[in-house]
Amino acid sequence: MKKILMPVVMVAVLAIIPYVGVEFLKLDYLFGVVIPYTATALFIAGFLYRIADWLIRPVPFRIPTTAGQEKSLDWIKRNRFESPYHAWEAVARVLSEVLLFRSLFRNTRAELHKDASLAYASDKWLWLGGLAFHWSLLVIVLRHTRFFFVMVPGFADFLDHADSFFDVTLPAFYISDALALGAITFLTARRFFDAKVRMISLPTDYFPLFLIGGIVLAGILMRYVVRLNIMPVKDHMLQLMHFGFDPPGQIGTLFYVHLFLISVLLVYFPLSKLMHMGAIFLSPTRNLCNNSREKRHVNPWNSDIRFRTYSEYEDEFREKMKKAGLPVEKQ
């Protein structure tokens, strides 16, 4: 219970800080300019540091996973994408993981039945929930480009149009808002109600879920319930994009809650499991070709071993071997 309550309290306190700061202490400048800049700088530096740190680690050996038949003899049918041989096949495997969550699609669930028999079955809910969550977050982030650029890029226009396709309510209801909220609720509830997952869940699993949930909730409230004047928001975002340091205009407090929680997320990002965003591209079981039957991979930091071959041995002892009547290969 404590491991769930602690993150809840932390996110609640984090949401109250900017509210008190802006509403009562008038610290617009701190929460609108100083903290976002600092958080973004820390995010970029931390992210690059973590990725660089992983990139310079040597990965000497292939790590074949047993998901597909490796390329060997011509008459053995191989699985091109589950066990790639060429680089482009490995790229396809990484992309199928990043874009479609291939590994989660394999997820199975073990159940103990009443007659004490253990049954395994395919379980696609985690895959579906994860896919809905990540894709809707991506769409939401891309949609936000309309706040950051004077000329909004075409894809953002298209996404905006497709996302508000149902055209109900005013401002138009976004499908991705409902999907993100529904999916994060499901993913959190799964951790509460599935005993096995509850056992292995840690505060570091709950905290980002609640934090992102808080950000989404603040955003949804700003759009549909507590409406804010959007003009000063865009003014301020544009000037942040141009590295300006002017104080923000008159913006509602909820905006600062939203922005501060995002700043917290940015700072927390490189320190946490959220780094899977960059790390997924570096996972050795996905991005290495399984060609260890074709190529010899030598560990680069092995010390040189002095081998003595038979021909060298024979060279040294040939005369003695001949005298002893032993057969030699070279006369």
Partner 1 sequence: MRIKRNILFIAIPALLVFAVIGFLLQSGNAVETPGAPPPPVAVDSTKCIAQTEYMRSNHMKVLNEWRHSSVREGNRVYTAHNGSRFQKSLNTCLGCHSNKLFCFNCHMYANVKPKCWNCHLSPMETP
Give the footprint of partner 1 on this chain (CB under 8 A).
146-147, 152, 156-157, 160, 167, 169-172, 227-231, 234, 252
Q: Pick the closer one to partner 1 by CB: 171 or 284.
A: 171
Residue 141: phi and psi, rounded to 5, are -65, -45
How far is residue 62's CA from residue 299's CA, in Å, rounded to a whole number?
11
**What DSSP line would sit under 224-293, residue for residue?**
IIS---HHHHHHHHHHHHTT--PPP-S--HHHHHHHHHHHHHHHHGGGSGGGHHHHGGG-HHHHS---TT
Residue 112: phi and psi, rounded to 5, are -95, 115
How far is residue 311's CA from residue 291's CA, in Å, rounded to a whole number?
31
Q: Pick the closer one to partner 1 by CB: 12 or 231.
A: 231
Shortest distance (Å) from residue 149 CB to partner 1: 9
Q: Pick the closer one to partner 1 by CB: 93 or 143.
A: 143
Q: Pick the closer one to partner 1 by CB: 3 or 146.
A: 146
Q: How far is CA 296 from CA 60, 78, 319, 329, in A?
A: 11, 20, 37, 29
Shortest distance (Å) from residue 169 CB to partner 1: 8
Q: Pick the closer one to partner 1 by CB: 190 or 234.
A: 234
Q: Pick the closer one to partner 1 by CB: 17 or 221.
A: 221
Shortest distance (Å) from residue 173 CB to partner 1: 12
Q: What residue type is assigned to position 270 of the chain?
A: P
Neighbouring-strand partners of residue 112 = 118
- For the chain, how long is the longest CA-to-CA vector? 104
Shortest distance (Å) from residue 90 CB to partner 1: 38
